[in-house]
Amino acid sequence: MNIIKCPVCGKKSEKKDKTYICVNHHSFDIAKQGYTNFLLNNDKKSKEPGDTKEMLNARKNFLDKGYYKFILEQVKNTIISDITDAQNNSVNLNVIDVGCGEGYYLSGMINDIDEAVKNTGAHYYGVDISKEGIRLAALRNENVEWFAANSFNLPFVDNCFDYIISMFSILDTKECSRVLKNNGKIIFVTAQKEHLKELKEIIYPVLTEKKYEAENLHGCDIIKSTDYLSKVMIESNHDLWNLLSMTPHFWKAEEKNKLLLNDHDSLEVTININIKVLN
């Protein structure tokens, strides 16, 4: 089943050779790296929206060393547990990572999800507003359909996804609910107050207590909410800088305080996340 819609007119967009084209002849070429750029000018607030190339490369280098494998495993297990509990045997199960960045999380879980759904099959999609992020994602895994697109205007038809994954991203519940099947689930992952506290203690002279209030999940029911806590040893100063560079703290902290990171050849940091299952 084709679930892609034209970002210009909203009609279904069919894949023909290396191009997506709709009945109104709006066409979008699939790049040689394997992704499709569905971003329109009114989707972008800057020439190159989303994370910078430097942030994306730092994130890729950090994640590829397995430091956040704990997070990947918890999200993957949450989805597989739901598939098993719900006895979800839908043919052509559709899974999307909205705000997928360079594709680490989705790429890391598809083999085990395939095993969980057995012979019913699954299709995977990744969307991010950063064209560079999607380019890296497409190079990482060719078994996913990757799109540079606005997560507030997803290029998919209504009621088509079984699982929507949102990793540390702003969640547009209205748009996600539009593309979610009636019995579908949103897997919403957020950082909690202890997350990376050891790193923050280095780069901020004074830590202000951030209020972790309930997210605005208008229109969604919380089926399950679970906090996870773990520790991981960051093994080099280079990896510590990659970790800092992929977070908003890189822009928030003063330069002189960031340089204090150079005093550390390694650092054990806390991983503290919450995973909500919504519908």
Q: For residues 6 and 13, give the distance between their C-alpha atoms in angstroms, rounded to a whole number.
A: 5
CB 264 within 8 A of CB 240: yes
Superfamily designation of domain 32-192+211-230+272-278: Vaccinia Virus protein VP39 (3.40.50.150)
Helices (H), 204-265: 237-245, 249-252, 255-258
> What pTM was estimated for this model as a whole?
0.94
Q: What is the pLDDT of residues 168-188, one digit of tens each?
A: 998 899 999 999 999 999 999
Question: What pLDDT is recorded for position 45?
Answer: 58
**pLDDT tens digits, 47-90:** 666 788 899 999 999 999 999 999 999 999 999 999 988 765 56
CATH 3.40.50.150 residue window(s) in the chain:
32-192+211-230+272-278
- End-to-end, the C-alpha distance of the chain in Å comes to 23
Residues 6+ apart with CB under 8 A from 32: none
Beta bridge partners of 227: 274
Res 38: pLDDT: 96
The encoded tokens of residue 93 equal 């199960």
Give the span between the Cα atoms of 257 and 203, in whole angstroms. 5
Mean pLDDT by 10 residues, the chain (279 residues): 94 95 97 96 65 91 98 98 76 92 97 86 94 96 96 96 95 94 96 96 85 67 96 98 95 95 98 97
